[in-house]
Amino acid sequence: MTTPTPPFRADEVGSLLRPAELKTARADFAAGKLDAAGLKTVEDDCIRHVVARQEQVGLQAVTDGEFRRSWWHFDFLAGLDGVELVQGAKAIQFSGVQTKSESIGVTGKVGFSDHPMLEHFKFLKSVTKVTPKMTIPSPSVLHFRGGRDAISKEVYPDIESFYADTAEAYAQAVRSFYDAGCRYLQFDDTVWAYLCSEKERQAVRDRGEDPDALKSAYAGMIAHALKAKPADMAITTHVCRGNFRSSWISEGGYEPVAEMLLGELDYDGYFLEYDTERAGGFEPLRFLPKGKKKVVLGLVTSKFGELENRDGVHARVEEASKFAPIDQFCLSPQCGFASTEEGNILSEEEQWRKLGFIVEVAKDIWGEA
């Protein structure tokens, strides 16, 4: 038997390595050598294939690999009313590497209507026999990525109005994806991990904002959006420390945010990174309420191809069970394999071995995947 509702015992965060033919098609489209219809045909074919591979390794939920996106977050955010993709913006600095120069700006009232990713989800749902999972950035990301300077002061002289509009836009997103047939939605969120990093907290102060006040504001937006969730829909979150070409941004354990994140926000599951010492210990899991909520332990790294030791993963799950019931755990990669279209430094076959390994270990521990 499988776990009846997401997250599943063996699960994945979302993004997958883009195959060569997709990368070529996107480059040809950018160069004007391929039209939008031609690009969509390649995307559709690649998504059908990657869905079949996910089903073959035994996953109970599949994604489209985020194959129609360049970024894990900007593509969705730029599809919101009042939000634009900004070219030539400051690149994002990771550990030893920078992204391309793009960002987002809020130039109008934030809202959600006729978003293109609704059609992306409908296509995914049409090509899988298991649960289709949709991933979108958390509402907190819209503010945190650019800060107050990226939000028009003419449109939003009062930042509280921005928070309220964004929260309602996400509530509408939840309802719209539900109406499209989505029963497994995920809010991807770097912010909670950044708020665990003193370096990143200082960067927030340096731009004139209070990281503790932001924590409360972000929790309020998320709580409002989650209230729109019907009873038969699962919404999870992934807390990420940065993932670009196998690099990262923030470091620090979950202690500063765990009580609010695990105890107060009404998520059904939490994908938490635990692949390196950068994530700290399992002690913050003590804030997970007993019951139906699950923590998906990201014990298998998506950043490199070397396969983890099976006994080592078993031991880590056992260690985590000192702080929360093992029945409330699942297993996943620590992050997606390609949070941007460039992808991490491993091969597609190494990616599939990791996902298959997760399914096998989940069956070892819980008797199901």
Tens-digit pLDDT profile for residues 63-118: 999 999 988 888 999 999 999 988 765 654 445 554 456 788 999 999 999 899 99
Give the fold, CATH level 3, of 20-366.
Answer: TIM Barrel (3.20.20)
Place of tokens 């969120």: 189
Whether the per-residue pLDDT at 123 is higher than 60: the answer is yes
pLDDT given for residue 197 in this prediction: 75
In whole angstroms, what is the distance from residue 347 CA to residue 333 CA? 15
Confidence of residue 31 (pLDDT cuts 50, 70, 90): very high
pLDDT given for residue 242 in this prediction: 59
200 vs 136, more confident = 136
340 vs 132, more confident = 132
Encode pLDDT of 170-219 as tens digits.
Answer: 999 999 999 999 999 999 998 888 887 777 777 778 888 888 888 899 99
Confidence of residue 314 (pLDDT cuts 50, 70, 90): very high
pLDDT given for residue 268 in this prediction: 98
pLDDT given for residue 63 in this prediction: 98
Whether the per-residue pLDDT at 246 is higher than 60: the answer is no
Encode pLDDT of 315-330 as tens digits.
Answer: 999 999 999 999 999 9
In whole angstroms, what is the distance from residue 192 CA to residue 209 CA? 16
Inter-axis angle of helices 20-30 and 36-57, nearest 10: 160
Confidence of residue 148 (pLDDT cuts 50, 70, 90): confident
pLDDT given for residue 195 in this prediction: 84
Q: How many CB atoms lie within 10 A of CB 177?
A: 23
Confidence of residue 2 (pLDDT cuts 50, 70, 90): very low
pLDDT given for residue 273 in this prediction: 92
Which whole number is the average pLDDT over 2-28?
91
94 vs 167, more confident = 167
| CA 274, 226, 144, 216 torsion-angle sign | negative
In whole angstroms, what is the distance from residue 200 CA to residue 220 CA? 21
112 vs 2, more confident = 112
275 vs 249, more confident = 275
pLDDT given for residue 192 in this prediction: 86
pLDDT given for residue 159 in this prediction: 95
Tell me the range of 140-144, 243-247, 275-279, 291-295 where mean pLDDT is highest.
Answer: 291-295
In whole angstroms, what is the distance from residue 349 CA to residue 306 CA? 11
Q: Where are the alpha helices (DSSP H) in the chain?
A: 20-30, 36-57, 74-77, 116-126, 139-144, 159-179, 191-194, 198-206, 211-226, 255-263, 310-320, 348-366
